[in-house]
């Protein structure tokens, strides 16, 4: 399993003004999509999320998104290392992802570019 980079996950109340700030900060345009009632904008190494409080409470449990070359390979390595895959792998607008619980209790999203092709590798 090769880790290509990380994406910092940030829950925001005003996605539009936050996107403007992060676009200026990174010098890169946002890639926007919706997922499960949550509006998402990927800007450089930042993943901004806005939506209903109950949805954001779940998303806040995930410490970071880790870009990998292949999510299916990652699932096998995680399982062999003592982690538990909680969800996925599934296709998303940005590629494929999974959510994993590490033995220390940390929760991370792992994502590849898959068919969607949009994830930044930090």
Asked if 43 and 23 touch (Cβ cutoff 8 Å), the reply is yes
pTM passes above 0.85: no
**Local structure of residue 119 (DSSP, 8 states):** -
pLDDT digits (tens, 9 = 90+) for 79-94: 999 999 999 999 887 7
pLDDT digits (tens, 9 = 90+) for 14-62: 999 999 999 999 999 999 988 888 999 999 999 999 999 999 998 899 9
Sheet of 107-112: strands edge to edge?
31-35, 38-43, 46-50, 3-11, 65-68, 107-112, 95-101, 84-92
Domain boundaries, the chain: 3-112
Which residue has 């096998």 as its token pair?
76
Which residue has 């092709």 as its token pair?
117
Q: What is the dotted CATH code of the domain comprising 3-112?
A: 3.10.180.10
Continuous H helices in the chain: 15-26, 53-59, 71-80
């Amino acid at each position: 399993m090769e880790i290509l980079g990380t994406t910092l996950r940030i829950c925001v109340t005003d996605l539009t003004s936050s996107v403007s700030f992060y676009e200026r900060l990174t010098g890169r345009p946002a890639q926007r999509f919706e997922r499960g009632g949550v509006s998402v904008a990927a800007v450089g190494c930042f993943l901004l999320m806005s939506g209903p409080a109950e949805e954001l409470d779940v998303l806040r449990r995930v410490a970071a998104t880790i870009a990998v070359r292949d999510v299916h390979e990652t699932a096998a390595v995680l399982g062999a290392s003592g982690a538990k895959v909680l969800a996925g792998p599934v296709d998303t607008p940005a590629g494929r992802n999974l959510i994993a619980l590490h033995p220390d209790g940390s929760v991370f999203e792992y994502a590849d570019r898959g068919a969607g092709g949009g994830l930044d590798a930090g």
